[in-house]
Amino acid sequence: MTPLVELQHIEIHGHSVGYRSGGSGPVIVLIHGMAGSSATWRLVMPVLAEHFTVVAPDLVGHGESEKPRGDYSLGAFASGVRDLLLALGHERATFVGQSLGGGVAMQFAYQFPERCERLVLVSSGGLGDEVNVLLRLLALPGAELVLPLACTNWLHDAGVRVAGWAAKIGLHTSPHLTELWQSYGSLADAKTRTAFVHTLRSVVDVTGQRVSAADRLYLAAEVPTLIIWGDHDSIIPLEQGRAAHSAIPGSRLEIFEGTGHFPHCEHPDRFCNVLIEFMNTTSPSTTSASQWRDRMLARST
């Protein structure tokens, strides 16, 4: 029987938070990218839930979680994930983050090291300056005035219809384009669009990514770390994944050939196999906050 992964809701701090959960066993948290939602994991959640407890939140401002006027920084997202896990009764987990979600996962490990058993970075943000030029342009002042004109339900629905017609004659949209189109479609909603702009500007400006964990990756030395990247990623270059692999002792790097920014959608079977193998061949980190502090202080001397 396929594990249940339907969307659920829980109220935290007076706000409704959407999430999907299923399975049993060690906990894996799947964190989506910018303008995405927990639905991005739809192709891998059923398989993973046969082996683990899987939790996939809609980050605040995304999907069906509320979109309040507030803090959309990586730190706020990490705290929100921590609060959701505590509300669901989970103390510790392995964190899998894609794109923005990778930055959130790293921030979580930084803020709450005692709660992070393993770290999996998938086409992750927060590892270097370079990022797709469109994201840099959307971070410019005034972009919020242009987005309502470009992101409409009419245009998104027309694209969906065209894709449907093409499928009937045997032409299928690639999973990469499907994910991009779903993200684009979410921006037709005004509150989602506002949250997207706040989130984007917290991590990207016209020069590139504003937030980088590169100077703190040494802290992950005792946290089992897996890095997954597509060699055709046009949003965040593979070179950043290679650099992170070199900076984190003992980390593993899996490069998906012919793959773009969404390895979990483009090659879900391989993604699941790699992640399951990683889980089965590594032991959870037992790093405490005091050990984290000691490692940090030793680095500075």
Q: CB neighbours (10 Å) of residue 229?
A: 26
Which of 258, 251, 195 lies closest to 221, judged by CA?
251
**Cβ-Cβ contacts under 8 Å for 251 (sequence gap 6 or more):** 220, 225, 226, 227, 244, 245
DSSP state of 77: H
Active site residue 215: no
Active-site entry in 38, 99, 183, 251 = 99
Separation of CA 97 from chain center: 4
Instruction: Assess whether 99 carries a catalytic annotation.
Output: yes
Which residues have a Cβ under 8 Å from the Cβ of 286 and sit 6 or more positions away?
none
Is 261 annotated in the active site?
yes
List C-alpha distances in Å: 242 to 32, 60, 95, 149: 21, 30, 20, 38
Q: Point out the catalytic residue in the list 32, 176, 245, 261.
A: 261
Which of these is catalytic: 176, 186, 212, 233?
A: 233
Q: Give yes or no for a contact between 99 and 237, defined as CB atoms under 8 angstroms apart.
A: no
Residue 151: half-sphere exposure toward Cβ, Cα within 13 Å: 25
172 C-beta neighbours (distance < 10 Å), count: 10
Give the catalytic positions in this structure: 99, 233, 261
